[in-house]
Amino acid sequence: MNFYNYHLINDFCIKKYELLSLNEIKIKKKFFSFFKNKICIINEKQSLRTINTLVNSLNCLNIKYTIINNKHNFKKENIKDFSKTLGILYDYVFFRGYNDIILKIISKFSGLVLINMLSNGYHPIQSINDSCLVKNKIIFFFGDFNSNVFRSMVINLSKIDKIIIIISPKIYWNYIFLKKIFNKKKIIVSEKIIILNKKINIYNDVWFSMGENDFKTKINNLVNFQINKKIIKILKIDKIYHCLPSYKKSFFLKSNNSEIEENVFESNFSNFDKQIIEKIFMIKSFFIISGKNFFHIL
């Protein structure tokens, strides 16, 4: 892949030098003008931060766009016809939805450039940004190893040779994925906390997403993998990152069993504000190199 007019469906699409190039452009925070391309945002899975970050970036660059908020009934609609229709009307589609298979069909038959803003398998926009933020530290992941953002983060961090430690219940370990990504990479997967005598970053994600509803079972599986005061006392933490938003403690089963305690989420360890701000610059950076004729750099 060389960025130009290629889809970003998952994190396997992006290579190490491209990941580093995005971060380099983002750091420089260049300004540029936009040529005429028709952009559509399909917001099938409603979002506050991801879609608004995208909209903020588009508005800053004076880019016109269309938002489609209704959920398409793919059980009755012909997906190929839907894909071709999008290709006739638009040049770029930012799709936030539930199904990786639908993304692949649209990318194959639409003739446009498709960017995955979130799906059941991957969250590339979030992970490309965050993988460059958590530099120079060992990364601890806490929770469900099959989380879409965990999967994306692990793929991208493996490209830039980060040491990754995943603390997750064994029932969520994905051996096929690990074998595919890490042949001789630096990764440790454990059910127990590994204590290190150096500062680390923690990456956390919600326990329930993409239509999950078996709250009780998942809470029982993950209750000992919460980011709380005990974890802060045990580990030398630099910053905590979270794939926002965090649920309120009383949202599930009226319990305090969410993925991160509210007092920790709101503590000085959190780096969530920077995640949001930097994502804006990352999206702008992606626009620069996503098409040769997409931008004219001033």
161 and 74 in a common domain: no
pLDDT of residue 6: 72
Report yes or no on 213 lying in a domain: yes
Residue with tokens 């059980």: 75
Using alpha carbons, list the distances in angstroms from residue 175 to 148, 179, 218: 16, 6, 20
CA distance 99 to 186: 30
89 and 188 in a common domain: no
pLDDT of residue 109: 92
51 and 24 in a common domain: yes
Query: What letter represents residue 22's amino acid?
Result: L
pLDDT of residue 292: 44
CA angle 19, 22, 24 (to 5 degrees): 110
Report yes or no on 171 lying in a domain: yes
As a residue count, the chain comes to: 298
* Structural domains of the chain, count: 2
Write the CB contacts of 121 (distance below 8 Å, at least 6 apart in sequence). Answer: 10, 100, 148, 151
85 and 135 in a common domain: no
pLDDT of residue 207: 81
85 and 28 in a common domain: yes
Rg of the chain in Å (alpha carbons): 19
State the 10-residue block means of pLDDT for the chain, 298 residues long. 66 85 75 67 80 85 81 74 90 88 90 89 88 81 87 86 85 81 73 89 81 74 87 89 68 65 84 84 74 46
Buried/exposed code over 123-136 (b: 16+ C-beta within 10 A; e: otherwise):
bbbbbbbbbbbbee
Report yes or no on 200 lying in a domain: yes
pLDDT of residue 88: 92
134 and 115 in a common domain: no
What's the CATH number where 147 sits? 3.40.50.1370
CA distance 283 to 184: 31
Phi, psi at 113, each rounded to 5°:
-95, 125
Domain ranges, residue 42: 11-123+277-290
pLDDT of residue 1: 41
Report yes or no on 133 lying in a domain: yes
pLDDT of residue 2: 47
